[in-house]
Amino acid sequence: GENVEQHPSTLSVQEGDSAVIKCTYSDSASNYFPWYKQELGKRPQLIIDIRSNVGEKKDQRIAVTLNKTAKHFSLHITETQPEDSAVYFCAASRGSTLGRLYFGRGTQLTVWP
Amino acid sequence: SAVISQKPSRDICQRGTSLTIQCQVDSQVTMMFWYRQQPGQSLTLIATANQGSEATYESGFVIDKFPISRPNLTFSTLTVSNMSPEDSSIYLCSVEGDNTGWANEQFFGPGTRLTVL
């Protein structure tokens, strides 16, 4: 099956700085890569996703890049704010054929004011 | 996105008993999933709940311990049977969109926090 590795496990940044979280995957058939944000005591929330037919996607302060050749994808958060503090999970999926998501271990992001 | 609710939101149970968790969606969905998330950990898929057929379980999870029902396209239940303290965890259901609007996107319910004494 798929194996998703996520780094770093913890990340601390100063407010206003950028944060980057990286994931690698093993299954070349994976074609859908979502990112979830989970605040303490809350459900995981889908914040952005990318499909294998594009290399980059942006939504305001967050962006995701995908390198299919190297089998890695990254989440970029610019101009970080304290409310960005949360655990972020990457995931990979083969899409509609199987549907299931394979999750990374998560990154605890702390943004210091 | 779908509106997903779970009942109960939390429970404290005695070992040896069983708890059934309900997941309700406000629209029809083909795929529903049940996850477990232990404190400080990632999400572990327990099973995929298929409407009209048996659930598909992941390695390490068995039907006798985690029976699942999926009677229609908007509802599913997960039962945690013969509980032990090791079953203490958050249990989340998720749904995947079925049409072009949000196919492949998965959305999570609020979770059920289970403590087994």
* pLDDT value, residue B18: 98
Find chain A residues with C-beta within 8 A of B105's C-beta. Answer: 34, 46, 49
* pLDDT value, residue A94: 84
Query: What is the per-residue pLDDT across B36-90, written as a single tens digit (0 to 9) for each?
Result: 999 899 999 999 998 888 899 999 999 999 999 999 999 999 999 999 999 999 9
Instruction: Select the residue of A34, A44, A100 nearest B45 (Cβ to Cβ).
Output: A100
* pLDDT value, residue A4: 97
Whether B101 has a pLDDT exceeding 60, the answer reads: no
Whether B29 has a pLDDT exceeding 90, the answer reads: no
Query: What is the per-residue pLDDT across A58-71, written as a single tens digit (0 to 9) for each?
Result: 999 999 999 999 99
B13 touches chain A (CB under 8 A): no
Check: CB of residue A80 under 8 Å from CB of residue A60. Answer: no
